[in-house]
Amino acid sequence: MKTIKGILSWVLPVIIGLAVALIIRQCFFTVARVDGPSMEPNLINNERIMVWRRSEIKRGSVIVFNAAGIDPQAAENGGFVKNLLGTNGTDYVKRVIAVPGDTVAFKNGSIYVNDHKIDQSYISSSEQKNGSDYNMQPGNWDLKSLSRNWKKNQGAVKVPKNQYFVMGDHRSVSNDSRYWGFVPKDKVIGVVKTFPWDTNKQKRENINDRD
């Protein structure tokens, strides 16, 4: 009897601790690792990040989402975030440029949302001007022109309800909404925050304070 009590005295706390950790991970936040260069210079390859599941998604938020069924090549490309549960390596990390109801356009080296030029000081001027040269010719575009090459939402002029238009900060290499369309809200895993000890003040502001 004493042996059983002794075993339970350390087994039960471990089980309870694991259950609490699992609940926190599933309901509140999880930790992931960036895989690839699409969010450079603000998030770099192998950098660890926190993904908050209940944070509000705004213009400028950096989000993690399951790209399966959104990007036709998601399974081939592999994930751009690792160590998340249940998505088989198809998690992407991108920045929200536009939210439901917004118009988006790229004109003469700048992005316009609802006809207003947006602040992109979180990336270099050369990357800001890189509107589209991944599988496409560079030049001006809007949602209607981009959507001609999408499998869904062809002819869209605004971001649909419960969906988002996203882009990577490393525009010249990022595979994002320009090429396959919008991200449905139910595909979003959470909003990214960086660890304060893993990066500098400017990079933290570019990720944590843009939403």
Which residues lie across from 49 on neighbouring strands?
32, 194
Of the candidates 38, 132, 147, 177, the residue annotated as catalytic is: 38
Token digits of residue 36: 């690839």
Q: Which pLDDT score, from 0 to 100, does residue 112 have?
A: 95
Q: Give the three-class secondary structure for 142.
A: strand
Residue 27 above 80 pLDDT? no
Name the nearest CA neighbour of 188 among 207, 162, 169.
Answer: 162
**Segment 100-125 mean pLDDT:** 93
pTM given for the model: 0.82
Give the phi and the psi of residue 110 in degrees, each rounded to 5. Answer: -135, 155
**At the topology level of CATH, where does 33-208 sit?**
Umud Fragment, subunit A (2.10.109)
Break the chain into its structural domains and give their ranges: 33-208
Active site residue 55: no
Burial 91-106 (b: 16+ CB within 10 A, else e): bbbbbbbbbeebbbbb
pLDDT of residue 21: 44
pLDDT reading at 47 higher than 80: yes
How do beta strands 104-107 and 141-142 pair? Answer: antiparallel
CA-CA distance, 49 to 192, in Å (whole number)? 7
C-alpha distances in Å from residue 202, one per residue of 40, 47, 186, 194, 197 = 13, 16, 31, 11, 13
Cβ density class 39-74: b for 16+ within 10 Å, e for less: bbebbeeebebebbbebebebbbbbbbbbbebbeeb
Residue among 61, 94, 174, 177 flagged as catalytic: 94
Q: Which residues are 110's β-sheet partners?
A: 107
Contact present, 140 and 106 (Cβ < 8 Å): yes
For residue 94, indicate whether it is catalytic.
yes
pLDDT on residue 188? 95
Q: What is the mean pLDDT of residues 190-205?
A: 82
Report how far Cα 63 is from the mean position of its chain's Cα atoms: 3
For 58-92, write each residue's pLDDT tens digit.
999 999 999 999 998 876 555 566 544 444 568 89
AA letter at 64: V
Quick one: average pLDDT of 4-12?
54
Amino acid at the residue 130: N
Q: How confident is the model at residue 134 (pLDDT cuts 50, 70, 90)?
A: very low
Instruction: Kindly indicate the confidence band of residue 131, based on its pLDDT and cuts at 50, 70 and 90.
Output: low
The CA distance from 69 to 163, in Å, is 14
Nearest to 183 by CA among 168, 158, 162: 162
